[in-house]
Amino acid sequence: MSLCCCPAAARRFLLTPLFFGRRRHDQVRYSTLHPSPLATARAASPVVASSSFSPSQQRQVSLYVDALLDWNQRMNLTAVTDEDEVMTRHVADSLAVLPSIERAYRAHSVSSSGSGDMEGMRLIDVGSGAGLPGLILAVARPGWKFTLLESMRKRCTFLEHAVEVMGLSNVDILCDRAENVGQSPDFRESFDVAVARAVAELKVLEIKPSILLIAEYCLPLVRVDGLFIAAKGHDPHEEIKSAESAVHKLGASMLEICDVESMGPHGQRTAVVYLKERITPKKYPRHPGTPSKMPL
């Protein structure tokens, strides 16, 4: 086990008229080509501007924030309704885990294969929710390939809309349960990195899944020698200890703990990095609902 300190990182179906109301396809395209003054101002905010984003990337982030706040009036995507808070609690917090991913991947890749090249890397965001951190990371790293895994159809509809509005070509939306996807030959052990941002921001559902639970969702999707990264709070050591046996059963071990100085309201957070060392036994993940009812 190692401990590292990572510097802070700054900051396709459309709305159906019946359910979501009056927003139309032509409105979506107009907003993409002609961002509002509010979106333009937000793109110049310190959170985005200081993240070394290009103007087009800053515009993509602004379009995401606009879409999130708009759709959040019709469905529960986030408890955060203030645009400045979205920038700090969601955008900046998502970007904060990026240095941990890159540093750990490069370090392990160089030591195991002699190459630290990350171009074309496949990353899956498990339990993506409103697209965090997946959509923000997809903006930051256009050369990577992202899959956003989300089980709720309404959220997937939002994600598909956001991908189109943002003009992202490196993102696929997968609407299914992690237990099903982890047993699918098309996805099992096919990703370089699996990420779970283990903070729930839903208005109705305030839960914080433990590493013990999300490891069973994530590790079957990661290739051998790939990484599983859990974005956690400032002190996850008890979780790490309780999950050690389960993680070992799933074919992995902890590689390192990275302190992440997030700009979010909770201050320092932690990225727990696991290395997939062996093929995950075929029986994992178990049937839908079993991991949450009977944790390993």
Percentage with pLDDT > 90 across the chain: 54
Phi, psi (degrees; rounded to nearest 5) at 163: -60, -40
pLDDT value at residue 209: 66
Q: What is the mean pLDDT of residues 58-77?
A: 95
3-state secondary structure of 9: coil
pLDDT value at residue 44: 44
Average pLDDT, the chain: 80
CATH of domain 2-293: 3.40.50.150
Tell me the C-alpha to C-alpha distance, in Å, between residue 10 and each of 27, 136, 198, 222, 272: 30, 12, 20, 28, 20
pLDDT value at residue 150: 96
> Can you tell me the distance from the alpha carbon of 154 to that of 130, in angstroms, rounded to the nearest whole number?
10
pLDDT value at residue 71: 96
Q: Which residues contact 108 (CB under 8 A, 6 or more apart)?
A: 225, 227, 255, 275
Give the position of tokens 């994530």: 218
Spans of all domains in the chain:
2-293
Phi, psi (degrees; rounded to nearest 5) at 236: -95, 15
Q: Which residue has the higher pLDDT, 159 or 106?
A: 159
Tell me the C-alpha to C-alpha distance, in Å, between residue 213 and each of 56, 216, 248, 249, 294: 37, 6, 13, 13, 9
Q: Which residue has the higher pLDDT, 223 or 48?
A: 223
The sign of the torsion formed by the CA atoms of 65, 66, 71, 76 equals positive
Q: What is the mean pLDDT of residues 230-251?
A: 88
> Can you tell me the distance from the alpha carbon of 101 to that of 144, in angstroms, rounded to the nearest whole number?
12
Residue 153 is which amino acid? R
Whether the pLDDT of residue 101 is over 80: the answer is yes
Q: What is the mean pLDDT of residues 31-49?
A: 45
Q: Which residue has the higher pLDDT, 83 or 125?
A: 125
Q: What is the mean pLDDT of residues 118-144?
A: 96
3-state secondary structure of 92: helix
Phi, psi (degrees; rounded to nearest 5) at 190: -120, 0
> Rounded to two decimals, what is the model's pTM?
0.81
